[in-house]
Amino acid sequence: MFNSEGFSECYLLAAMAYNRYVAICNPLLYSSVMTRKLCFQMVASSYAAGFANAIVHTGNTFRLHFCGDNTINHFFCDVPPLLKMACDDTKVYEIILSTVVGCNMLATTALILISYMAILVAILCIRSVIGQRKAFSTCSAHLISVSLFYGSILFIYVQSSSQHTSDWDKITALFYTVVNPLVNPIIYSLRNKDVKVAFKKALGRTRGPR
Protein backbone atom coordinates (compact mmCIF):
# COMPACT_ATOMS: atom_id res chain seq x y z
CA MET A 1 0.00 0.00 0.00
CA PHE A 2 2.79 2.42 0.91
CA ASN A 3 4.73 1.74 -2.31
CA SER A 4 1.52 2.26 -4.26
CA GLU A 5 1.02 5.69 -2.71
CA GLY A 6 4.66 6.61 -3.30
CA PHE A 7 4.53 5.82 -7.01
CA SER A 8 1.13 7.51 -7.29
CA GLU A 9 2.58 10.72 -5.87
CA CYS A 10 5.25 10.71 -8.60
CA TYR A 11 2.54 10.60 -11.28
CA LEU A 12 0.42 13.19 -9.49
CA LEU A 13 3.35 15.60 -9.31
CA ALA A 14 3.87 15.14 -13.05
CA ALA A 15 0.16 15.76 -13.66
CA MET A 16 0.36 18.93 -11.56
CA ALA A 17 3.32 20.10 -13.67
CA TYR A 18 1.21 19.65 -16.80
CA ASN A 19 -1.60 21.57 -15.11
CA ARG A 20 0.72 24.51 -14.50
CA TYR A 21 2.01 24.30 -18.07
CA VAL A 22 -1.52 24.69 -19.41
CA ALA A 23 -2.33 27.47 -16.92
CA ILE A 24 0.71 29.58 -17.85
CA CYS A 25 1.35 28.72 -21.50
CA ASN A 26 -2.29 28.45 -22.62
CA PRO A 27 -4.35 30.41 -20.08
CA LEU A 28 -7.23 31.06 -22.49
CA LEU A 29 -7.62 27.34 -23.18
CA TYR A 30 -7.21 26.24 -19.56
CA SER A 31 -10.89 25.69 -18.79
CA SER A 32 -11.45 23.75 -22.02
CA VAL A 33 -8.29 21.62 -21.69
CA MET A 34 -8.24 20.91 -17.95
CA THR A 35 -11.80 19.66 -17.74
CA ARG A 36 -13.18 17.80 -14.75
CA LYS A 37 -13.13 14.59 -16.80
CA LEU A 38 -9.43 14.98 -17.66
CA CYS A 39 -8.53 15.76 -14.04
CA PHE A 40 -10.39 12.65 -12.88
CA GLN A 41 -8.64 10.54 -15.53
CA MET A 42 -5.20 11.80 -14.50
CA VAL A 43 -5.84 11.12 -10.82
CA ALA A 44 -7.31 7.67 -11.50
CA SER A 45 -4.46 6.78 -13.86
CA SER A 46 -1.88 7.90 -11.29
CA TYR A 47 -3.30 5.63 -8.59
CA ALA A 48 -3.77 2.73 -11.02
CA ALA A 49 -0.16 2.97 -12.22
CA GLY A 50 1.06 3.26 -8.63
CA PHE A 51 -0.87 0.13 -7.66
CA ALA A 52 0.55 -1.78 -10.65
CA ASN A 53 4.11 -0.85 -9.66
CA ALA A 54 3.47 -1.88 -6.07
CA ILE A 55 2.32 -5.32 -7.25
CA VAL A 56 5.71 -5.85 -8.94
CA HIS A 57 7.57 -5.16 -5.69
CA THR A 58 5.15 -7.18 -3.58
CA GLY A 59 5.45 -10.18 -5.90
CA ASN A 60 9.24 -10.10 -5.81
CA THR A 61 9.26 -9.71 -2.02
CA PHE A 62 7.09 -12.83 -1.57
CA ARG A 63 9.66 -14.86 -3.51
CA LEU A 64 12.43 -14.07 -1.01
CA HIS A 65 13.35 -16.34 1.91
CA PHE A 66 13.98 -14.75 5.30
CA CYS A 67 15.94 -16.14 8.23
CA GLY A 68 17.16 -14.96 11.61
CA ASP A 69 15.61 -12.02 13.41
CA ASN A 70 12.26 -10.88 11.99
CA THR A 71 12.49 -7.36 13.45
CA ILE A 72 12.82 -4.62 10.82
CA ASN A 73 15.15 -1.79 11.77
CA HIS A 74 12.89 0.85 10.25
CA PHE A 75 9.69 2.82 10.83
CA PHE A 76 7.68 0.73 8.36
CA CYS A 77 8.00 -2.33 6.13
CA ASP A 78 9.94 -0.75 3.25
CA VAL A 79 11.77 -2.67 0.52
CA PRO A 80 15.44 -1.83 1.33
CA PRO A 81 15.20 -3.01 4.99
CA LEU A 82 13.52 -6.22 3.80
CA LEU A 83 16.36 -6.93 1.39
CA LYS A 84 18.84 -6.77 4.27
CA MET A 85 16.91 -9.50 6.09
CA ALA A 86 16.71 -11.86 3.11
CA CYS A 87 18.84 -15.02 3.08
CA ASP A 88 18.75 -15.21 -0.73
CA ASP A 89 20.95 -13.37 -3.17
CA THR A 90 19.06 -10.12 -3.76
CA LYS A 91 21.16 -8.75 -6.63
CA VAL A 92 18.52 -9.61 -9.24
CA TYR A 93 15.78 -8.01 -7.17
CA GLU A 94 17.96 -4.94 -6.59
CA ILE A 95 18.35 -4.59 -10.36
CA ILE A 96 14.57 -4.93 -10.83
CA LEU A 97 13.93 -2.43 -8.04
CA SER A 98 16.40 0.10 -9.43
CA THR A 99 15.04 -0.38 -12.97
CA VAL A 100 11.38 0.05 -12.02
CA VAL A 101 12.04 3.02 -9.75
CA GLY A 102 14.49 4.53 -12.24
CA CYS A 103 12.12 4.25 -15.20
CA ASN A 104 9.27 5.79 -13.24
CA MET A 105 11.49 8.57 -11.95
CA LEU A 106 12.90 9.30 -15.40
CA ALA A 107 9.47 9.34 -17.06
CA THR A 108 7.84 11.61 -14.48
CA THR A 109 10.92 13.81 -14.12
CA ALA A 110 11.14 14.22 -17.90
CA LEU A 111 7.49 15.32 -18.05
CA ILE A 112 8.06 17.79 -15.21
CA LEU A 113 11.24 19.19 -16.80
CA ILE A 114 9.63 19.54 -20.24
CA SER A 115 6.64 21.30 -18.70
CA TYR A 116 8.81 23.72 -16.75
CA MET A 117 11.10 24.42 -19.70
CA ALA A 118 8.04 25.50 -21.67
CA ILE A 119 6.83 27.48 -18.65
CA LEU A 120 10.20 29.23 -18.32
CA VAL A 121 10.15 30.24 -21.98
CA ALA A 122 6.61 31.57 -21.58
CA ILE A 123 7.55 33.53 -18.44
CA LEU A 124 10.57 35.11 -20.13
CA CYS A 125 8.26 36.31 -22.91
CA ILE A 126 6.10 38.18 -20.39
CA ARG A 127 7.10 41.84 -20.45
CA SER A 128 5.47 42.80 -17.16
CA VAL A 129 7.55 42.17 -14.03
CA ILE A 130 4.37 41.70 -12.01
CA GLY A 131 3.17 39.10 -14.50
CA GLN A 132 6.47 37.23 -14.24
CA ARG A 133 6.26 37.22 -10.45
CA LYS A 134 2.72 35.85 -10.52
CA ALA A 135 3.77 33.10 -12.91
CA PHE A 136 6.77 32.17 -10.75
CA SER A 137 4.63 32.15 -7.59
CA THR A 138 2.23 29.74 -9.31
CA CYS A 139 5.06 27.23 -9.78
CA SER A 140 7.12 27.80 -6.63
CA ALA A 141 5.03 25.63 -4.29
CA HIS A 142 4.99 22.72 -6.72
CA LEU A 143 8.75 22.95 -7.31
CA ILE A 144 9.44 22.80 -3.56
CA SER A 145 7.25 19.70 -3.21
CA VAL A 146 8.95 18.05 -6.18
CA SER A 147 12.42 18.77 -4.78
CA LEU A 148 11.61 17.37 -1.33
CA PHE A 149 9.89 14.24 -2.60
CA TYR A 150 12.19 13.29 -5.46
CA GLY A 151 15.33 14.10 -3.50
CA SER A 152 14.45 11.72 -0.67
CA ILE A 153 13.27 8.97 -3.04
CA LEU A 154 16.45 9.12 -5.13
CA PHE A 155 18.61 9.00 -2.01
CA ILE A 156 17.00 5.76 -0.81
CA TYR A 157 16.16 3.71 -3.89
CA VAL A 158 18.94 4.49 -6.34
CA GLN A 159 21.64 3.17 -4.00
CA SER A 160 22.33 -0.54 -3.62
CA SER A 161 21.47 -2.25 -0.34
CA SER A 162 25.16 -2.42 0.66
CA GLN A 163 25.35 1.39 0.57
CA HIS A 164 22.34 1.87 2.82
CA THR A 165 22.75 2.79 6.46
CA SER A 166 19.76 2.31 8.74
CA ASP A 167 20.02 5.70 10.44
CA TRP A 168 20.20 7.67 7.18
CA ASP A 169 17.37 5.60 5.69
CA LYS A 170 15.17 6.44 8.66
CA ILE A 171 15.95 10.15 8.46
CA THR A 172 15.33 10.23 4.71
CA ALA A 173 12.15 8.18 5.05
CA LEU A 174 10.82 10.80 7.46
CA PHE A 175 10.93 13.37 4.66
CA TYR A 176 8.58 11.59 2.27
CA THR A 177 6.40 9.90 4.90
CA VAL A 178 5.99 12.65 7.51
CA VAL A 179 7.64 15.94 6.48
CA ASN A 180 6.31 16.10 2.90
CA PRO A 181 2.64 15.42 3.77
CA LEU A 182 2.97 17.82 6.71
CA VAL A 183 4.48 20.76 4.84
CA ASN A 184 2.60 20.36 1.54
CA PRO A 185 -0.62 21.99 2.83
CA ILE A 186 1.49 24.81 4.29
CA ILE A 187 3.48 25.28 1.07
CA TYR A 188 0.40 25.43 -1.15
CA SER A 189 -1.61 27.53 1.31
CA LEU A 190 1.01 30.29 1.59
CA ARG A 191 -0.01 31.51 -1.88
CA ASN A 192 -3.40 32.42 -0.42
CA LYS A 193 -3.55 36.06 0.71
CA ASP A 194 -5.77 35.31 3.71
CA VAL A 195 -3.37 32.62 4.89
CA LYS A 196 -0.43 35.01 4.49
CA VAL A 197 -2.17 37.67 6.59
CA ALA A 198 -3.07 35.15 9.29
CA PHE A 199 0.48 33.78 9.30
CA LYS A 200 1.96 37.28 9.71
CA LYS A 201 -0.44 38.03 12.56
CA ALA A 202 0.46 34.78 14.32
CA LEU A 203 4.16 35.48 13.80
CA GLY A 204 3.72 38.97 15.24
CA ARG A 205 1.99 37.58 18.34
CA THR A 206 4.79 35.09 18.99
CA ARG A 207 7.37 37.87 18.83
CA GLY A 208 5.37 39.95 21.28
CA PRO A 209 5.47 43.72 21.81
CA ARG A 210 8.82 45.43 21.61
Model pLDDT for residues 41-56, shown as the tens digit of each residue: 999 999 898 888 888 7
**Which pLDDT tens digit goes with each residue over 93-134?**
778 777 887 788 888 889 999 999 999 898 888 888 888 888
For the question of whether the overall pTM of this predicted structure is more than 0.85, the answer is no
Flag whether pLDDT at 156 surpasses 80. Answer: no
Identify the structural domains of the chain with CATH numbers, from first to last: 2-207 (1.20.1070.10)
Tell me the average pLDDT of the chain. Answer: 79
Asked if 39 and 23 count as a contact pair (C-beta separation under 8 A), the reply is: no
Q: Identify the band that residue 150 occupies on the pLDDT scale cut at 50, 70 and 90.
A: confident
Instruction: Tell me: pLDDT of 155 over 70.
Output: no
Beta bridge partners of 86: 66
**pLDDT the model gives residue 41:** 93
19: nearest Cα among 192, 139, 184, 131:
139
Measured over the CA atoms of residue 149, residue 53, residue 56 and residue 95, the dihedral's sign is negative
Please list the residues that pair with 66 across neighbouring strands: 86
